């Protein structure tokens, strides 16, 4: 387990000395807010992931005004009732980006956008680029949103197709310099995986500027098993996965092509783990490092659930063991009821747990209708290639657990800072 790996003290002190104490992102990531003239590949990469549990509260205003106004002054706030958020705050994606000093990557999960709903997709692009009245930067960064939305006719029909889905929001100056591609995968059509390929410092295929008002948001290109050809990989090549993992239930899972029932959502969750692991291993085989970030829908250990870890039904235990085996340092699969042939697994590191220690408590899921902290789980986290940790690339990993950061969601954001040097 990750708790058995002690962070090298000298290495952590060295990284912190170079980059500063990044526990307070608002105070120490000022370098991330520099103008486009700066070279973003020289800065620590700030990544935030958040299960937003529905994008509608953040884009409602942009759906009721001409989309041509998305670079106008800050819109009137649509405030969340204090009974929902714990605090009265406007649900604004741009305000979130400003508050966190313009992260390079913002991964959103469970956005609940119908794949044919172009108006909402344009509204998201407007929401992340409409300046806030409080912005003081002379040239505040702009962003581009990349959508991976469900197109499964049999498993993504609920709520009029407004279900699942992830959005990868990338800062344009960083994309131009460091991002070569944004991809999805051909083995999932529920809108659960988006991959941002970082090939710092040389740009290859710059991401386009924000969408013009009449433009149709482009879909990411699927990454298939035919893409795993040898490449001229550079040690700094990193595949960053935005993940909304399957939530295991006893509901039926249907073949996406035929509609035939072929097990439960628990079965699909196990299959998702295997496919995600294989995708990660393909990158590593080509010399890439991998970062898996998002809502994994698994609390890895007893300490990650309060007051209790989910153990009923039994499938939750099986799902947890399967995830830990495939992604967290490759525990023996046979001992956990896995592949008796000794399947090669992704030996990753739960970076928050590793940096904060085996006894640290921190949670990311705070359900609505329950008193804050009365019941919570840590199901959102980053799992990274072991090499990134051993090389001292990770500067910090944090959970932003408070009612303000939770906003209208039932999850709080997580973040990590990565050095490309």
Dist CA 342 CA 334 (whole Å): 7
pLDDT above 80: residue 79: no
Picking from 41-45, 220-224, 283-287, 378-382, which range would have the lowest pLDDT averaged per residue?
220-224
pLDDT tens sequence across 168-180: 999 999 999 999 9
CATH homologous superfamily of 2-418 equals Endonuclease/exonuclease/phosphatase (3.60.10.10)
Q: Please indicate if the annotation marks 51 as binding a ligand.
A: yes
Q: Please indicate if the annotation marks 410 as binding a ligand.
A: yes
pTM of model > 0.75: yes
Picking from 150-154, 155-159, 335-339, which range would have the lowest pLDDT averaged per residue?
335-339
Question: Do you know the residue count of the chain?
Answer: 421
Give residue 31's pLDDT: 41
Give residue 392's pLDDT: 93
How sure is the predictor about 117, in pLDDT bands with cuts at 50, 70 and 90? very high
Give residue 341's pLDDT: 55
Report CA torsion sign: 95, 99, 101, 103: negative
Q: Kindly calculate the radius of gyration of the chain based on its CA atoms and give it in whole angstroms.
A: 20
pLDDT above 70: residue 69: no
Spans of all domains in the chain? 2-418
Q: Please indicate if the annotation marks 324 as binding a ligand.
A: no
| Secondary structure tally for the chain: helices H, strands E | 12, 17
Q: Which residue has the tokens 């006719």?
A: 153
Q: Provide the 3-class DSSP secondary structure of residue 339.
A: coil
Give one DSSP letter per residue of 217-276, joined into a string.
PPPPEEE-GGG-------TTEEEEEEEEPPPP-SSEEE-TTT--EEEEHHHHHHHHHHHH
Dist CA 31 CA 41 (whole Å): 12
Active site residues per annotation:
253, 295, 411
Q: Please indicate if the annotation marks 295 as binding a ligand.
A: yes
């Amino acid at each position: 387990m990750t708790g058995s790996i002690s962070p090298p003290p000298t290495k952590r002190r060295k990284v912190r000395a170079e980059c500063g104490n990044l526990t307070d992102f608002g105070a120490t990531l000022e370098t991330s807010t520099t103008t486009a003239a700066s070279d973003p590949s020289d800065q620590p990469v700030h990544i935030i992931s958040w299960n937003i549990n529905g994008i509608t509260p953040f884009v409602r205003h942009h759906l009721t005004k001409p989309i041509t106004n998305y670079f106008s002054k800050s819109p009137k706030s649509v405030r969340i009732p204090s009974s929902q958020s714990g605090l009265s705050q406007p649900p604004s994606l741009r305000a979130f980006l400003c508050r966190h000093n313009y992260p390079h990557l913002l991964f959103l999960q469970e956005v609940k956008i119908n794949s044919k709903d172009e108006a909402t997709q344009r509204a998201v692009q407007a929401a992340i680029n409409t300046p806030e009245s409080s912005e003081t930067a002379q040239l505040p960064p702009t962003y581009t949103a990349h959508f991976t939305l469900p197109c499964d006719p049999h498993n993504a029909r609920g709520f009029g197709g407004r279900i699942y889905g992830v959005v990868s929001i990338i800062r344009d100056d960083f994309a131009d310099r460091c991002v070569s591609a944004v991809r999805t995968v051909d083995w999932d059509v529920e809108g659960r995986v988006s991959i941002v390929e970082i090939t710092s410092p040389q740009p290859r295929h710059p991401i386009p500027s924000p969408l013009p008002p009449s433009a149709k948001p482009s879909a990411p290109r699927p990454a298939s098993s035919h893409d795993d050809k040898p490449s001229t990989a550079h040690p700094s090549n990193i595949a960053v996965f935005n993940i909304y993992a399957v939530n295991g239930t006893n509901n039926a899972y249907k073949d996406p092509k035929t509609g035939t029932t072929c097990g439960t959502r628990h079965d699909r969750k196990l299959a998702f783990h295997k496919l995600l692991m294989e995708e990660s291993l393909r990158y590593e085989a080509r010399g890439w490092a991998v970062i898996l970030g998002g809502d994994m829908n698994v609390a890895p250990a007893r300490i990650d659930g309060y007051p209790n870890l989910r153990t009923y039904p039994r499938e939750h235990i099986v799902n947890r063991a399967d995830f830990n085996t495939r992604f967290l340092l490759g525990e023996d699969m046979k001992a956990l009821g896995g592949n008796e042939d000794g399947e090669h697994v992704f030996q990753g590191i739960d970076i928050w747990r590793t940096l904060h220690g085996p006894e640290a408590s921190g949670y990311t899921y705070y359900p609505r209708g329950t008193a804050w902290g009365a019941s919570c789980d840590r199901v959102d986290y980053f799992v990274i290639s072991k090499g990134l940790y051993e090389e001292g690339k990770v500067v910090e990993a944090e959970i932003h657990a408070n009612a303000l950061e939770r906003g209208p969601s039932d999850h709080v954001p997580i973040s990590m800072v990565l050095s490309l040097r």
